[in-house]
């Protein structure tokens, strides 16, 4: 399998190189040249398999000869062995025909662990085989950073620097990033919002001298390896709902469009998905674009669902690439316009996008009310992001098709919002019970590219 850039002028790469590279050198995102398709028989065979076995089946066609079957099996087993639920991504019923897919049983309590734990294993295997070392720099609205640090802490061939917006992540998220003591972990609290962090990250990747000097590698949700790992749970969830023989729909709380785009790939691979529903908070650029075709940057407003406080949604570029019939020139032109503030898609592209994705937006008040309502009606404590998904799903679902809403984080990761809505403060699971007693280590920095590059150059192991 070969990988090409959405903007058409970066080198064509193998899976291994796309994994290590992250952002393409032309500023684009890597996508597979072709998407393999399962037959009905393949799906039927998968229906009774374990999470790990389905993961192998789904991802194997994408990894080429980067790993042998035996190596890949071992990496998958190791990646998910630290999850504290045997089926890894269990389903819970919320309402007649509406199910919650719990993606928070990994080590940092958010769905990011599904991809990051596997990527950590894959990076380590590839780098130790090549005898190389890389510098991972990531920008985070909270959960990517904690998942990345957890996956890469203490690994021999990786330094990891995580940029997060100072004062805009929850205390649990911050502590998950600042308390690991390993010397290869660097938490950087930057002045600004998540979009600023993401913009500085892109600047570093587009500075090719710096990029090569520190051997920069990216694990943000633009990394194809992350999208790929997330395709798996669409299969496990749909198949356990009997999806060989009927369609199911998914609603996905969305920020950077990585998780929902994985659902698109699953559908293209032959999984019978009816609707793919994008759910946003008040930072609703995606909902606005899917409604009107206009994609214009606005200011980010801090919300009680901070992992979705995003106005420039990186992976949406991949969705546009497919909506534009894989026309990389069109994507390049759109992204040039975005750098100037925004763009409008044409009517036929808007129709294609609307045929592919539905969408809804949820206010702060509605988010709290939904947490409260579902706690009262079902005893289920929803994190604010998951509540946004649940609210949009209830509004848009068609009662004849089962709806699965992705629960993207554990409620204990956002205890203030959950307590404000329900009066219940969700406790941290046992393995994290002492999080608030551990020492923190963090570097505070301004929103300044040169300062950032100096810190990274000074911090990497020589
Ligand atoms: C990252 C995150 C999201 C958004 O996921 P994207 O792939 O960026 O759309 C939603 N909820 C939680 C809890 C997250 O950590």
DSSP string, 164-175: EETT-S-HHHHH
Which residue in 57, 112, 202, 413 is the catalytic one?
Answer: 112
| Pair of tokens at residue 363 | 């206010």
Q: Where are the beta strands (DSSP E) in 317-451?
A: 342-344, 358-361, 403-407, 443-445
* 309 CA to centre of ligand 1 in angstroms: 9
Q: Among 59, 77, 66, which Cα is nearest to 19's?
A: 66
End-to-end alpha carbon distance in the chain = 34
What is the CA(255)–ligand 1 centre distance, in A?
A: 6
Q: What was the pLDDT predicted at 462?
A: 55
Q: Please give the pLDDT value at position 66.
A: 97
Give me 331's structure tokens: 């994507």
Question: CA nearest 15: which of 159, 123, 130, 150?
Answer: 123
Residue 256 Cα, ligand 1 centroid: separation in angstroms?
7
- Choose the residue to mutate in 116, 252, 255, 261 for probing ligand 1, maximizing ligand atoms within 8 Å of C-beta: 255
Q: State if residue 407 touches ligand 1 by the CB under 6 angstroms criterion.
A: no
CA atoms within 13 A on the CB side of 444: 4
Partners of 162 in the β-ladder = 138, 187
Measured distance CA(42)–CA(118) in Å, rounded:
24
What residues are paired with 5 via a beta bridge? 30
DSSP 6-71: TTS-SPPB-HHHHHHH-B-TTS-BEEESS-----HHHHHHHTT--HHHHHHHHHGGGSTTSS-HHH
Cα–Cα distance between 296 and 337 in angstroms, integer?
Answer: 10
Closest C-alpha to 268, from 104, 86, 439, 61: 61
Here the tokens at position 17 are 């190189």
CA of 41 to the centre of ligand 1 (A): 33
Give Rg (Cα) of the chain. 20
Q: Catalytic residue at 247?
A: no
Q: How far apart are CA 313 and CA 325, in angstroms?
A: 20
Closest CA to 252 of 299, 292, 286, 297: 286
Environment class of 162 (CB within 10 Å of its CB; exposed 0-12, middle 13-18, buried 19+): buried
Half-sphere exposure of 32 (CA within 13 A, CB side): 20
Is the Cβ–Cβ distance between 168 and 190 less than 8 Å?
Answer: no
For the chain, helix (H) and strand (E) counts, in that order, are 19, 15
Ligand 1 pocket member 307 (CB < 6 A): yes
What distance lies between CA 244 and its chain's CA centroid?
26
Q: What is the pLDDT of residue 219?
A: 85
| Ligand 1 within 6 A of CB of 308 | yes
Q: By the 8 A CB rule, do 94 and 100 touch?
A: yes
Residue 253 alpha carbon, nearest atom of ligand 1: 10
259 in ligand 1 pocket by Cβ < 6 Å? yes
Q: What is the chain's pLDDT, residue by residue, as a tens digit (462 residues)?
A: 999 999 999 999 999 999 998 889 899 999 999 999 999 999 999 999 999 999 999 999 999 999 999 999 999 999 999 999 999 999 999 999 999 999 999 999 999 999 999 999 999 999 999 999 999 999 998 889 999 999 999 998 999 999 999 999 889 999 999 999 999 999 999 999 988 998 999 899 889 999 999 999 988 888 999 999 999 999 999 999 999 899 999 999 999 999 999 999 999 999 999 999 999 999 999 999 999 999 999 888 989 999 898 888 999 999 999 999 999 999 999 999 999 999 999 999 999 999 999 999 999 999 999 999 999 999 999 999 999 999 999 999 999 999 999 999 999 999 999 999 999 999 999 888 899 999 999 999 999 999 999 999 998 875
Report which DSSP code applies to 241.
T
Q: Measured from the CA of 257, which atom of ligand 1 is nearest?
A: 9
Question: How many other C-beta atoms can be found within 10 angstroms of the C-beta atom of residue 333?
Answer: 14
The answer to whether 109 and 83 are in contact (CB under 8 A) is no
Give yes or no for a contact between 250 and 263, defined as CB atoms under 8 angstroms apart. Answer: yes
| Size (the chain), residues | 462
């Amino acid at each position: 399998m070969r990988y090409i850039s959405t903007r058409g002028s970066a080198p064509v790469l193998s899976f291994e190189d796309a994994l290590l590279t992250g952002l393409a050198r032309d500023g684009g995102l890597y996508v597979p040249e072709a998407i393999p398709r399962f037959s009905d028989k393949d799906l039927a065979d998968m229906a009774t398999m374990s999470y790990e076995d389905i993961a192998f089946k789904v991802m194997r066609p994408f990894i080429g000869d980067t790993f042998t079957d035996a190596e890949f099996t071992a990496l998958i087993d190791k990646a998910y062995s630290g999850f504290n639920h045997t089926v890894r991504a269990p389903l819970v019923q919320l309402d007649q025909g509406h199910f919650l897919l719990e993606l928070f049983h990994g080590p940092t309590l958010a769905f990011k662990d599904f991809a990051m734990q596997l990527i950590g294993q894959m990076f380590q295997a590839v780098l130790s085989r090549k005898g190389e070392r890389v510098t991972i720099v990531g920008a985070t609205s909270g959960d990517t950073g904690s998942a990345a640090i957890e996956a890469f802490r203490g690994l021999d061939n990786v330094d990891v620097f995580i940029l997060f917006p100072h004062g805009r992540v929850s205390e649990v998220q911050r502590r998950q990033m600042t308390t690991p003591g390993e010397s290869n972990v660097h938490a950087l609290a930057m002045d600004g919002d998540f979009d600023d962090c993401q913009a500085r990250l892109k600047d570093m990747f587009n500075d090719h001298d710096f990029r090569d000097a520190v051997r920069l590698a990216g694990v943000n949700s633009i990394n194809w390896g992350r999208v790929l790992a997330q395709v798996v749970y669409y299969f496990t969830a749909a198949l356990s709902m009997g999806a060989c023989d009927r369609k199911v729909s998914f609603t996905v709380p969305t920020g950077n469009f990585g998780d929902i785009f994985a659902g698109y790939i699953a559908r293209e691979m032959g999984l019978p998905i009816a609707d793919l529903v994008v759910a946003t908070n008040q930072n609703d650029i995606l909902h606005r674009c899917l409604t009107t075709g206009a994609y214009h940057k606005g200011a980010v407003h801090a919300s009680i669902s901070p992992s979705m406080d995003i106005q420039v949604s990186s992976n949406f570029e991949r969705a546009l690439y497919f909506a534009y019939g894989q026309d990389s020139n069109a994507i390049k032109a759109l992204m040039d316009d975005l750098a100037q503030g925004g763009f409008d898609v044409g009517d036929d592209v808007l129709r294609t996008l609307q045929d592919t994705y539905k969408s809804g937006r949820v206010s702060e008040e509605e988010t709290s009310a939904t947490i409260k309502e579902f706690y009262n009606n079902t005893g289920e404590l929803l994190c604010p992001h998951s509540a946004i998904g649940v609210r949009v799903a209830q509004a848009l679902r068609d009662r004849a098709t089962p709806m699965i809403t992705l629960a993207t984080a554990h409620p204990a990761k956002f205890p203030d919002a959950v307590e404000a809505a329900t009066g219940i403060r969700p406790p941290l699971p046992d393995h994290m019970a002492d999080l608030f007693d551990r020492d923190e280590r963090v570097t505070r920095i301004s929103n300044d590219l040169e300062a950032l590059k100096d810190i990274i150059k000074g911090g990497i192991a020589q």
